[in-house]
């Protein structure tokens, strides 16, 4: 599958601008710009906020919009975070 996709892309680029002009417009890439602390409901945010501040302060300070970095930090500290926050992560399949 990947080989076929790469071959298709290579052929399209080799064909030149005329072939690329016939391709349908692509949607913009999804953006993840909502900070983790703004996701979930009020109770979920309240459950994890102290753990984010306690264990992930450097991640938040470096980039407060890094949802995946904050989530990764919480997951790497799973044994240390509160039971309430661990439950929130589990409820969301994390």
Residue 88, domain member (yes or no) = yes
Q: Would you say residue 77 has pLDDT above 90?
A: yes
Q: For 6-16, write each residue's pLDDT tens digit.
A: 555 655 455 55
Q: 46: domain range? A: 34-94
Residue 13, domain member (yes or no) = no
Q: How many domains does the chain have?
A: 1
pLDDT at 92: 86
Q: Would you say residue 30 has pLDDT above 50?
A: yes
| Total number of residues shown for the chain | 94
Residue 58, domain member (yes or no) = yes
The answer to whether 78 touches 70, Cβ cutoff 8 Å, is: no
Residue 42, domain member (yes or no) = yes
Q: List b or e across 35-50, with b for residues whose CB sees 16 or more CB atoms inside 10 angstroms.
A: ebeeeeeeebeebbee
Residue 93, domain member (yes or no) = yes
Residue 39, domain member (yes or no) = yes
More confident call, 30 vs 50: 50
Euclidean distance between CA atoms 37 and 52, whole angstroms: 8
Residue 19, domain member (yes or no) = no
Residue 63, domain member (yes or no) = yes
Burial class (CB in 10 A: 0-12, 13-18, 19+), 87: middle
Q: List b or e across 54-85, with b for residues whose CB sees 16 or more CB atoms inside 10 angstroms.
A: ebbeebbeeeeebbebbbebbeebeeebeeeb
């Amino acid at each position: 599958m990947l080989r076929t996709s790469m071959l298709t892309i290579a052929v399209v680029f080799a064909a030149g601008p005329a072939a690329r002009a016939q391709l349908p417009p692509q949607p913009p890439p999804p953006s993840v710009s909502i900070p983790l602390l703004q996701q979930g409901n009020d109770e979920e945010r309240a459950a994890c906020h102290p753990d984010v501040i306690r264990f992930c302060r450097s991640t938040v300070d470096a980039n407060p919009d890094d949802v995946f970095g904050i989530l990764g930090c919480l997951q790497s500290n799973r044994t240390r975070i509160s039971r309430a926050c661990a439950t929130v992560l589990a409820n969301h399949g994390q």
